[in-house]
Structure 1
Amino acid sequence: MSKALVMNFLNEGGQKVAVRVNNVKENSTEAEVGAAMDVIINKNIFSSTGGDLKYKDSAEIVDKTSTELTVK
């Protein structure tokens, strides 16, 4: 099972933009995620088709479990 952090932002055009970080550490806190989102916005790290990321919208940690199937 792997965990991914999905951080959702609003850009200049008011559109939602998701940034996904795979293999996030197990004990990530809301404060750490909020601080990381602030850095992304303040340093203008990512761009989007609707303009710069301007506001934090939401964040979630997603657990992903896979089961391999033999189909040969």
Structure 2
Amino acid sequence: MSKTLVMNFLNEAGKKVGVRVNNVKEDITEAEVKAAMDVIVDKNIFTSTGGDLKSKDSAELTDKNSTELSVK
């Protein structure tokens, strides 16, 4: 099972911008996600078509299960 972290920010234009991180560690904490999002905003790491990311909006962690099917 792989986990994907989606961190949503608001940019200068007030639009939501998502940053996805695949294969995050199993025991990631809310505090670690908040800290990472703070660093992204504070260090101005990413930009978007609507300008720089200005604030945190939301975050979610999703689990992905896949099952290979034999079709040959």
TM-score bin, normalised by smaller chain: over 0.9
Which residue pairs with 1:66 in the alignment?
Answer: 66
Q: TM (normalized to structure 2)?
A: 0.92
Alignment of 1:22-61 (within 5 A): 22-61=22-61
Q: TM (normalized to structure 1)?
A: 0.92
Task: List runs of 5+ in structure 1 lacking aligned partners.
Answer: none
Mean alpha-carbon deviation: is it higher for 37-46 or for 61-70? 61-70
Q: CA deviation at 1:59?
A: 0.5
**Consecutive aligned runs of 4 or more in structure 1 exceeding 4 Å deviation:** none
Aligned-partner Cα distance in 2 for 1:46–1:70: 41
Query: What SS class does the counterpart of residue 14 from structure 1 fall into?
Result: coil
Residue by residue, what CA displacement relative to the aligned partner does 1:47-67 show, whole Å, maximum 9, x if unpaired? 100000001000111101112
Counterpart of 1:9, as a letter, is: F
Number of residue pairs aligned between Structure 1 and Structure 2 = 72
Which residue pairs with 1:9 in the alignment?
Answer: 9
Residue by residue, what CA displacement relative to the aligned partner does 1:26-56 show, whole Å, maximum 9, x if unpaired? 1111111001000000111111000000010
Question: What percentage of residue pairs aligned between the two structures are identical?
Answer: 79
Q: CA deviation at 1:70?
A: 3.1
